[in-house]
């Protein structure tokens, strides 16, 4: 805090000064106890926050710890509130804003079903190679591709497949971890 600052304008940002909405990936380490996911989701819906992606699995079985990865959107002030509100939940160990800390390593897996014949089918397979998607199920009329990568890559792949006979998509949601040697 710069104490040389004159006693003048408040920091308050009125409706006039609208903050831009940003997307953030939060990594939330929780005790894997019953209801913990409901608490987190209930917090988001109850306070009107957005969830763009959510993944959760127990990651340390002996300690019963789960990692919840949430991609959310909001103004920086709202994101700050979300963090504090999450930290208030009793079974939460810690909350990290991986995006803000500039360390977010994000991956997602998607299963993508495409059906078609002839040219389109060959094109789909060619594109899949470029994206390093694996064929995990097939018949003469369809493929199921498995593709992993950044969410943007998956988006792009789906976009192209839409033109080539996309039937359906299942995505895991984003798993994220902080870069570097220390734990996030």
Of 21, 23, 84, 168, the one binding other proteins (CB under 8 A) is 84
Residue 8 or 182: which CB sits closer to other proteins? 8
Single residue of 50, 85, 148, 184 touching other proteins by CB under 8 A: 85
User: Does 130 sit near other proteins (CB under 8 A)?
Assistant: no
- Single residue of 58, 60, 93, 159 touching other proteins by CB under 8 A: 93
Gyration radius of the chain over CA positions: 21
Q: Is 71 helix (H, G, I), strand (E, B) or coil?
A: strand
- 72, 50 in Cβ contact below 8 A? yes
Using CB atoms within 10 A of its CB, is residue 61 exposed (0-12), middle (13-18) or buried (19+)? Answer: exposed
Q: Is 81 in the site for other proteins (CB under 8 A)?
A: yes
Q: If binding is defined by CB under 8 A, does position 4 make contact with other proteins? A: no
3-class SS at 128?
helix
The answer to the question of residue 42 lying near other proteins (CB under 8 A) is yes
Q: Is there a contact between 28 and 70 (Cβ–Cβ < 8 Å)?
A: yes
Asked if 58 touches other proteins (CB under 8 A), the answer is no
Residues near other proteins, by CB under 8 A: 1, 3, 5, 7-16, 31, 34-35, 38-39, 42, 46, 77, 80-81, 84-85, 87-93
């Amino acid at each position: 805090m710069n104490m040389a600052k004159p006693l003048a304008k408040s920091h308050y940002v009125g409706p006039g000064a609208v903050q831009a909405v940003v997307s953030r990936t939060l990594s939330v380490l929780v005790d894997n106890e019953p209801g913990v996911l409901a608490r987190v989701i209930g917090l988001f819906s109850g306070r009107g926050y957005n969830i763009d992606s959510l993944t959760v699995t127990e990651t340390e079985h002996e300690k019963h710890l789960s990692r919840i990865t949430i991609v959310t959107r909001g103004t920086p002030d709202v994101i700050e509130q979300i963090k504090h509100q999450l930290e208030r939940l009793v079974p939460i160990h810690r909350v990290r804003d991986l995006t803000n800390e500039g360390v977010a390593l994000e991956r997602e897996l998607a299963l993508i079903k495409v059906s078609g014949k002839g040219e389109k089918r060959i094109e789909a397979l060619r594109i899949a190679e470029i994206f390093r998607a694996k064929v995990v199920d097939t018949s003469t009329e369809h493929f199921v591709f498995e593709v992993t990568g950044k969410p943007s890559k998956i988006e792009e792949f789906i976009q192209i497949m839409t033109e080539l006979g996309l039937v359906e998509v299942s995505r895991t949601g984003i798993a994220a971890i902080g870069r570097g040697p220390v734990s996030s």
